Every structure is written in C-alpha cells, then in structure tokens.
Amino acid sequence: MSHFLISFDTDRIKDYVFATHRLSEIRGASALLDRLNRVDMPRLAGGTKIYAHGGSGLFLVPADQSGTTIENVQKGYWQATEAATITGVKVKLPEGFNEDSDLRPHWQRLGLKMRLAKDQNPDRLTAATHPFFRPCDSCGVRYATEDYIEPDRSLSLLCRSCYLKRQEDRRIKDEIPKLTSGKLKPQSGRLWHGLIPELKKDNYPFGVLNRPEDFDTLGRQSSPEGYMGLICADGNDMGRKLEEISSLKEMRRFAEAVDQAVYGAVKQAILKHLQPSPKATSLPFDVLLLGGDDLVMATTAQTAIETGVTVVEKFSELTKENYGRALSLCVAIILVHVGFPFHSLVSLAEDALKFAKKVRKKRALQEGLVNFLVVSSPNHLGFEEFYKETLRVQSSGQILYRTLRPYTVAEMGRLIQTKRALSDAPRGRLEQMREAVFKGRHQAMLESLATWVRWRDEAQKRQIWQFVESFSGGTPSIFPWVQRDGDYYTPVLDLVELFDFIP
C-alpha cells in the first residue's frame, strides 16, 4: 500500500500569539496553539506521527486515508481559534517506502511545496467595514461579537478570536492550583501540565503562586522596578540539519531530541534562576511559546540575563546527552519597561536574534551566542540599526565598536562575574567609563585610564582591567579597547548597561 508524507506548518504564529499586549491573550493563544499542535493535530491527521510540535507536524498517512487529512487539520485550527491558520502539503511516497527508507529527496520536495503554498497564502483577513459594527476592545482589528466580563467586573466587547484566547487562559489559570496541589492529573502534551509536575519533583516552591496576571505584576517584582525581560531563542542551522536527515526514524529522533532539549533547558533555567522571592505575588516568569526549537519567555528584569545564558548552555548539553551530538541555539534578551508595546518588543527580539545568528556564522562558531538590548526609549531602533548607528563608529581610519555583542556563554559568564565583583563600585566612576567610550579612540583611552587610575578599590581595579584584557585574544589591549582584525572593540559599555540587570 502506498503512503503520503504530509507536512503542516502554522502560518504567522507570532502574529497570532502576539496580536495584543495583554498577557492573558498571549498565553491563551499560545496554549491554544500548543494543544492544537500536540494533541489535536495527531488525532485529526491520522496515520503515523513523526512529530507534532513547535507549530509544525509530519505524518505518514496511508493513501486511502489521506484524502481529507489536510482539510481536517485546517478546520480544527479554525474552529478552535477563528484566527490561526495552518498550511498543509503532501507528497506521494513510492511503493514500499518505510521509516528506514531514504527520506532526503521527498523531504526536499515537501519543503519546496510548503514554500510555494505559503507564498500563495492570502494576506491576513481584513474584515469588511460597516458603520454599525464595533471593533474588538482588545485587538481593535476584528469586529466585536462577544461580551466578556473582566476580572474587575467591567464589560469588554471582544471579537471571537480574542474571546477564545481569554477563555483558554482562564481555563489553564484555574487548572494551575489544581496541578500544583496534585488535585488534577496532568495531561500529556500540554505545557504547564508537564512543567508543573517536573518542577515540583525538583522541589520548586510553587506554594500558592500562579502565573503573573499581567506584565505589571512582573514589573513590580523586578529590579529595576517597572522593567521586565523578554527572552527569545531559536535553534541554529535547523533547516540545513533537517535536510541532512536520512530517514523518518531519524527525523523522529531528531525532532524529539530538540523539543525535549529546549524544554529541559527552560526547566533547568527556572530551577536555577527563577525561584520566587519570599515576597513574591506571582511566579517571576511566564513561558509564552515553547516547542520545537523555538522559545519565547518573559521574566523579571534581574533574572533575564542569567536565564537566557543557561538556556543556551543547557540546550547544547542536553542535545549532546539525548541525541549524541551537541546542537546549539542563539538567544536574544530584551530588557524593557513593562509598558512597551509587546508586538514591537517581539520584533526587536527577533531582530537581535537574527543579528546573533549572523555573527555566529561569520565567526564560524559551533556554539550558540547571547545577544541583549536594553531598550531605553519607546521608539528604539531595531538591533542592527542601533548597532550601526550607535555602537559602531569610524574614528581616524579605524572602526570602533562600543560593544562586544553578541557573547558566547563563557564570555557572558565573565561579564556577570565582573559585575558581581564591582557591585558596590561608585556609580560615578562607571558612568565616566561609559561616557568615555563614546569619545574617539584616543580620548576614550585617556579618559578611561584617568578614571581607572583614580579608582580606589584595588581589587575592583584589577577586576575591570582583567575583564577587558580577557577579550584581547593575546594581542595587547589598550584599555578600554581590545583589537580584533585591526578594529577596536570594548566590553565596557556592555558591562555598564547590564549593571542594574544583574543581581
């Protein structure tokens, strides 16, 4: 009997999940997609599941059952969300194809078909205008059709899509206390149902804490107050690695290893850096998207940097452990005021992530990199523009880089350690160093050295010197600069920028 290989990929996931600034809608959307992907898709698609997570799915379906597979899944997505769509494509496999057969030519065809289908997808639906229709109070895009009672008892008029997101979030919110107290049996394939029992096993002190009600709740528990961290991570070279996979059996093993490693890395980062403080009013984090090689999470401001670094480090360790080969991911950490519009925030993070991946390729690294951005104004430039316009400058024939971003895990470790050693350093001195790197190469050197000489604490003085020196790669450094390929770099601004965000 012949088979079809059927592949699914959710369209514009982030547009759907991050359509509004409301935390309850973001995680409701994310939970809906996760359930559709991991639980409903395998049921609706039929056949044999190769994988179903991270917004995608791959199934081996007997030809006589494959006629309506794609339609069934698409209908399921629309019914549950009234907004999220998914693209499905299939290729016919030769007679006798099994899970050990050579997958590569079929995978290539499937990928090509997927790209074509995605290109032909119509743009987002825009509803027809009518003077008597009222737009949704939340997204403002679709028409309001549902009454929704807010937690403060006020009434909102929502579109069906936003309403379904809120409903899903409320459902999980009610489930969490039952999961932490052990009164509800966890369902497999659902994020919090898996995360809570596993964290509990490692003695994570949930107590009566639930997820943060909104971003302000995170901001109130943050230092500096009013800020939060957004962490975005994404696997490196995944497309190329998938193309090299020789059989469906191997594909299943690979997909499972990556999915499990992202999950495991997040779990370990939570245990290590995201313990609730004694006065906590909610968990100090929320996981907004997790699956496949993709992660988006929000944390308190002071925990974001170390959480991001641990995710990069552990992902590589865990893939080595459970796949036999270390894979890597890059992470971008944005430190930002909680009022910053979330959709723009996600684009800033994606931009910073793209930059890290580009540098990783250029430096021909196997490991993943950590990029970060402290957002200081509501119309902050994208990372690449900011890098070109603010962090990089021409000075007497050379290029000065007022940053060493993105960092490796080891480099970030040195930065964190240096911050801790300088914790009670005079802020005025740090500020002078920061201002100095915005001068020309010579002036920066003169002013930085003058500040350094006047630094009283000998141990701190040594620390900051060694910190700069540690990036010199053997060539003599000219404080605060280190030379790389004839250009000048300094890690001093990075250190000062992150100073308040590392406890």
Residues that bind Zn ion (CB under 5 A): 136, 138-139, 142, 159, 162
Q: Which is nearer to Zn ion, 205 or 341 (CB)?
A: 341
For residues 235 and 315, give the distance between their C-alpha atoms in angstroms, rounded to a whole number.
Answer: 9
**Least Å from the CB of residue 124 to Zn ion:** 13
Residue 156, judged by CB atoms within 10 A of its CB (0-12, 13-18, 19+), counts as: middle
CB of 163 vs Zn ion, minimal distance in Å: 8
Residue number, 140 or 378, with CB nearest to Zn ion: 140
Question: Closest separation between CB of residue 162 and Zn ion, Å?
Answer: 3
Hey, how many other C-beta atoms are within 10 angstroms of the C-beta on 226?
A: 15
**In sequence order, what E strands does 236-271 have?**
none
- What is the 3-class SS of 42-67, one letter each residue? HHHHCCEEEEEECCEEEEEEEHHHCC
Give the burial string for 270-301 (b: 16+ CB within 10 Å, else e).
Answer: beebbebeeebebbbbbbbbbbbbbbbbbbbb
| Pick 160 or 249: Cβ nearer Zn ion | 160
**Minimum separation from the CB atom of position 227 to Zn ion (A):** 28
In the complex, least distance from residue 497 CB atom to Zn ion, rounded to whole angstroms: 37
Tokens representing residue 292 in the block? 């496949």
Residue 113, Cβ density class (10 Å: 0-12 exposed, 13-18 middle, ≥19 buried): middle
Closest approach of Cβ 84 to Zn ion, in Å? 13
Phi and psi angles of residue 364, each rounded to the nearest 5 degrees, phi first = 50, 50
Among residues 213, 205, 6, the alpha carbon closest in space to that of 91 is found at 6
Nearer to Zn ion, 78 or 244 (CB): 78
Q: How many CB atoms lie within 10 A of CB 192?
A: 21
Length of the chain: 503
Q: DSSP for 214-258?
A: SHHHHHHTSSSTTEEEEEEEEESSHHHHHHT--SHHHHHHHHHHH
Nearest distance in Å: CB 343, Zn ion: 13
Tokens of 61: 């379906």
Closest distance to Zn ion from the beta carbon of 134 (Å): 11
Q: Give the nearer residue to Zn ion in terms of CB position, either 91 or 136.
A: 136
CB atoms within 10 A of CB 469: 12
Q: Measured between alpha carbons, how far is 233 from 249 in angstroms, rounded to an integer?
A: 26
Which residue's CB is nearer to Zn ion, number 170 or number 454?
170
Tokens encoding 123: 């743009």
- Considering the complex, state which of residue 142 and residue 211 has its C-beta at the smaller distance from Zn ion: 142
Of 142 and 360, nearer to Zn ion (C-beta) is 142
One-letter identity of residue 44: L
Nearer to Zn ion by Cβ, of 29 and 162: the residue is 162
**Alpha carbons 326 and 18: distance in angstroms, whole number:** 31
Closest to Zn ion by CB, 138 vs 310, is 138
3-state secondary structure of 367: coil
- CB-nearer residue toward Zn ion: 138 or 460: 138
- Nearest distance from residue 81's CB to Zn ion, in Å? 12
Smallest distance from the beta carbon of 125 to Zn ion, in angstroms? Answer: 12
**Whether 74 contacts 93, CB under 8 Å:** no
Residue 33 or 191 with smaller CB distance to Zn ion: 33
Helix (H) or strand (E) holding 201: helix 191-201
Cα distance between the two ends of the chain: 62
Contact, 122 vs 36, CB < 8 A?
A: no
Which two structure tokens, joined as six digits, stand for 130? 């009518």
Extract the runs of DSSP E, i.e. beta strands, from 100-161.
146-149, 155-158
Distance CA 454, CA 461 (A): 9
Name the 3-class secondary structure at 503: coil
Question: In angstroms, what is the minimal distance from the CB of 345 to Zn ion?
Answer: 19
Q: How far is the CB of 338 from Zn ion (least distance, A)?
A: 21
Nearer to Zn ion, 140 or 205 (CB): 140
